[in-house]
Amino acid sequence: MKLKLIALSLALAASAAVPQLASAKGCLKGAAVGAVAGHVAGHHAVVGAVAGCAVGHHMAKKKDQQAQQAQQASTAAPAQPSSK
C-alpha cells in the first residue's frame, strides 16, 4: 500500500511539473470521476482515473471540434440581402 502511495505521488508530481494544460483539457474532471467510480467498483481508483482521463480528454476534444464546426458554419453562411 505504501509503495502504491509513493508511486501515485511521484506520478502526480511529474504530471504537475509538465505544463500541458491545453492538451489535457477534460482530463482532470474525467480522472476525478473515474477515480471515484473505480474506487466504488472494487478499489481500482488508479485504473479508473487513467480511464476517466482518457475519456474526459476525448469528450472535450469532440466538444471543441463540434463548436469549431458550428462557428465555421455560421461564418460561412452568406449574408441575406434585405429587401426594402
DSSP string, 17-74: HS--TTTTTTHHHHHHHHHHHHHHTTS-HHHHHHHHHHHHHHHHHHHHHHHHHHHHHH
Residue 41 lies in a domain: yes
Residue 32 lies in a domain: yes
At a CB cut-off of 8 Å and minimum separation 6, what does 29 contact? 56
Residue 83 lies in a domain: no
Q: Are 49 and 38 in contact (CB under 8 A)?
A: yes
Q: How many domains does the chain have?
A: 1
Residue 33 belongs to domain spanning? 22-61
Residue 30 lies in a domain: yes
Q: pTM of whole model > 0.85? A: no
Give the residue from 28, 16, 12, 17 showing the smallest Cα distance to 60: 28
pLDDT tens-digit series, residues 18-69:
555 445 778 888 888 888 998 898 888 888 888 888 888 889 889 999 999 9
